[in-house]
Amino acid sequence: MGRTRFHEMNCGIAQALEALGDWWTLLIVRNAFFGMRRFADFEADLGIAKNVLSSRLQHLVNHQILEKVNVGRQGARYEYRLTDKGEALLPVLTTLREWSDEWIYGKGNEPVIVKDRRTRRRVPKLQLKDADGRKLHRRDLRTVAGPGALAETHARFARRS
């Protein structure tokens, strides 16, 4: 049974999931943030089959999250590097890690701590804030149909009001 596709769904989260693919993809992106670039390094670290890794890397290149760069001096040798689009996933990965630290591992059991390279202090938890810098909670938010919304999306939000 194949995985469900979201490419026709008019939803930003669904489209992000379509671009990112599956859990292997996020782990590859995580490793790219850690500085990993070579196929063999991804393969060894993740314990992933070559064909699966090759497919996921190509998916990330096709979605312009990674770029495949020939770094060979005498023949072809490729590395995979984050693009600007890939770098923009840092808050997504950070939020997933923070959620897991709180709800799965618990305070004091975090597998990875992220610190500011300059100050060596732990980076504060990401938070949604309003234009004045105040922390926002779910009850403070209101979702409305955006300029790219389809008629079904407008109808769903109209029923809620």
Q: What is the pLDDT of residues 68-92, one digit of tens each?
A: 999 988 888 999 999 999 999 999 9
Pair 31, 46 in one domain: yes
Pair 28, 78 in one domain: yes
Please check whether residue 102 lies inside any domain of the structure: yes
pLDDT classification of 129: cutoffs 50, 70, 90: very high
> How many structural domains does the chain have?
2
Give the residue from 84, 86, 80, 37 showing the smallest Cα distance to 65.
Answer: 86
pTM above 0.95, yes or no: no
List the domain range (segments joined by +) for residue 61. 9-86
The H-or-E segment that residue 44 falls in is helix 39-46
Please check whether residue 20 lies inside any domain of the structure: yes
**CATH at residue 60:** 1.10.10.10
Pair 43, 81 in one domain: yes
Pair 51, 95 in one domain: no
Q: Judge whether residue 6 has pLDDT over 80.
A: no
Please check whether residue 4 lies inside any domain of the structure: no
The answer to whether 66 touches 83, Cβ cutoff 8 Å, is yes
Pair 96, 62 in one domain: no
Please check whether residue 31 lies inside any domain of the structure: yes
Kindly report the backbone phi and psi dihedral angles of residue 3, in degrees, each rounded to the nearest multiple of 5, phi listed first.
-80, 150
The answer to whether 61 touches 80, Cβ cutoff 8 Å, is yes
Please check whether residue 99 lies inside any domain of the structure: yes
Mean of pLDDT over the chain: 91
Give the residue from 156, 131, 136 showing the smallest Cα distance to 146.
Answer: 156
Please check whether residue 69 lies inside any domain of the structure: yes
Pick the last residue of a domain from 56, 86, 116: 86
Show Cβ contacts of residue 36 under 8 Å, excluding neighbours closer than 6 positions: 42, 45
